[in-house]
């Protein structure tokens, strides 16, 4: 039995190092103060408040107030509205039937014919193919 020996070195079990959030909590900060460690505090602007990130919006609002330019989306031209309506009626199609032919919602056709839609070249191309008519200018 002389070949058996025991290892009597102590085993040290430690807790994991604190996470970033745990290092910032009040208990950890107070413990660090008691231990004499250096503590840096930084106040984030508007942290924890429901206010806008920048309270100095007076410049932006003044620019908006002074801006007289009328910004609006491009609308469907009158010629295109009439051409779509005429071609659809010549084929004896309803707006819903035409919409189904081009795989769009009926509301899209209604918006194009009323002139409220923002022109989309892909949809106009689909309409031209489905109606067999040239809707855009000379190509």
Residue 108 lies in a domain: yes
Place 139 in a pLDDT band, splitting at 50, 70 and 90.
very low
Residue 137 lies in a domain: no
Residue 43 lies in a domain: no
Residue 88 lies in a domain: yes
- Rounded Cα distance, 34 and 92, in Å: 88
Q: Tens of pLDDT along 4-52?
A: 888 788 888 887 776 777 667 788 888 888 888 887 777 766 666 666 5
Residue 56 lies in a domain: no
Q: In Å, how far from its chain's centre is CA 98?
A: 32
Residue 41 lies in a domain: no
Of 131 and 3, the structure prediction assigns the larger pLDDT to: 131
pTM of the model: 0.48
Place 94 in a pLDDT band, splitting at 50, 70 and 90.
very high
**CATH code for the domain in which residue 105 is found:** 1.10.260.40
Question: Is residue 109 over pLDDT 80?
Answer: yes
Q: How many structural domains is the chain composed of?
A: 1
- Rounded Cα distance, 98 and 87, in Å: 10
Using CA atoms in the order 62, 63, 64, 68, what is the torsion angle rounded to 10 degrees? Answer: 120
Residue 119 lies in a domain: yes
Question: Is residue 135 over pLDDT 70?
Answer: yes
Write down the pLDDT at residue 91: 93
Residue 113 lies in a domain: yes
Q: What is the mean pLDDT of the chain?
A: 81
- Average pLDDT for residues 63-84, to the nearest whole number? 81
Of 61 and 98, the structure prediction assigns the larger pLDDT to: 98
- Rounded Cα distance, 114 and 84, in Å: 10
Query: Residue 91's domain spans which residues?
Result: 78-131
């Amino acid at each position: 039995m002389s070949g058996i020996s025991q290892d009597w070195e102590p085993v040290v079990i430690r807790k994991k190092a604190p996470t970033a959030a745990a290092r910032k909590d009040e208990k950890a900060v107070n413990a660090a103060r008691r231990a004499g460690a250096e503590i840096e505090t930084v106040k984030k602007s508007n942290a924890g408040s429901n206010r806008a990130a920048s309270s100095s919006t007076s410049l932006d609002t003044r620019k908006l107030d002074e801006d007289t330019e009328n910004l609006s989306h491009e609308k469907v031209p009158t010629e295109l509205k009439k051409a779509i309506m005429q071609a659809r009626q010549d084929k004896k199609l309803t707006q819903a039937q035409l919409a189904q032919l081009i795989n769009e919602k009926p509301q899209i056709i209604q918006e194009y014919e009323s002139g409220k839609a923002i022109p989309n070249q892909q949809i106009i191309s689909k309409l031209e193919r489905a109606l067999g008519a040239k809707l855009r200018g000379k190509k």
